[in-house]
Amino acid sequence: MTKIETEQLLDYSDVLIRPKRSTMKSRNDVDIEREFSFKWSSERWKGVPLIAANMDTTGTFEVYQVLSKYNIVTALHKFYTPDDFKFQKILNPNLYMISTGISDTDYIRLQSILEVVSCKWICIDIANGYLSSLVEFCKKVRKAYPDKIIVAGNVATREMVEELLINGKVDIVKVGIGPGSACTTRLKTGVGIPQLSAVLECSDAAHGLGGSIIADGGITCPGDVSKAFGACADFVMMGGQFAGHDQNPGDVIECEKTGKKMKRFYGMSSKRAMETHYGKMEKYRSSEGRELTIPYKGDLNNTVLDYLGGIRSTCTYIGATSIKNMGKCTTFVKVTHQLNRHFV
């Protein structure tokens, strides 16, 4: 029998954060790094808990070179080969993830790369994290690499977070079904959970089991990152907001209508991505990603500093001395209007 859940679920745009009295004197007093231990891995990690998404426009070695300066992680896309890693300068094993799908070919590639580099992170990434084959693949990877920090997803509900943490033996679950700016999963399938509510539910489930989550997708501005941390996300992953810069692949193009400078950005389930990496879009599937032209943003360093500054400012408004404390200090208020766009 079909069921209807009547509770209203929320996205980042549906709330603001209530300001609270604070004794902090400066944004500079905020600790934007966190230190983690993990459910299964023996590794510890300390850094800024932001992650560049493993899309081929953002999860690149060039983006890594920028983000690593800020102790931010880059999830490298899953189309790099072992030879690509061989020709890189020394990579900090704390600050990048090796991404993989769940096929036999993907597993062989993962093994080959880990023979070349000493990366601490493995990101097992498929669009539909509800498949039992994902859990089985995660178990296989954990057995082969017991000390690695293993990330898996994507899911958006409590029960699958618990399944991946307990039976898949992953350390971190990636949360988000369809919130990304280049994702059309909700349009094509009708499936999804509003991202703020997904983060609240999934973080509660994960933390009860000693696990962690990544809020993946739906970020449109620095304030959305603060809302994700306020909802108790451990890490926040971004694609579109880390795209469109000098360090992202692709030429700067000029919009014919406006004359503004733009760069291309597309989802990894888009027709463009399928044709680029697999040669064609298979007839049995539809494109669940968009190809976009987004405003050219210049140097990625400037965007990083803007986001870190926004997080620090949020913390001073709510009396949180660190990102770690944001969940304890956040009260959300539901809104119907956020910004004055009179001059837009």
Tell the burial category of 280 from Cβ atoms under 10 Å away from its Cβ (0-12, 13-18, 19+).
exposed
Strands 291-295 and 332-334 turn out to be unpaired
Strands 121-125 and 149-155 turn out to be parallel
Q: Tell me which of 60, 74, 100, 185 is the catalytic residue.
A: 185
Helices 195-208 + 158-166 axis angle, to 10: 40
Is residue 183 part of the annotated active site? The answer reads yes
180 backbone dihedrals φ, ψ, rounded to 5°: -70, 150
Is residue 232 part of the annotated active site? The answer reads no
Beta bridge partners of 291: 266
- Kindly write down the DSSP assignment for every residue of 180-191, as one continuous string: STTB-HHHHH--
Give Cα 181 to chain centroid, integer Å: 12
Q: Tell me which of 123, 183, 315, 329 is the catalytic residue.
A: 183
Please choose, from the candidates 205, 204, 242, the residue with its C-alpha nearest in 3D space to the C-alpha of residue 220: 242
- Kindly write down the DSSP assignment for every residue of 34-56, as one continuous string: EEEE-SS---EEEEEEEEE-SST
The sign of the CA dihedral 34, 195, 132, 4 is positive
- Kindly write down the DSSP assignment for every residue of 190-246, as one continuous string: -----HHHHHHHHHHHHHHTT-EEEEES---SHHHHHHHHHTT-SEEEESGGG-SBT
Residues 206 and 328: their CA atoms lie apart, in Å, by 16
Token pair of 302 as six digits? 């400037």
Contact between 122 and 140 (Cβ < 8 Å): no
Beta bridge partners of 173: 152, 213
- Residue 341 one-letter amino acid: R
Q: Known catalytic residues?
A: 183, 185
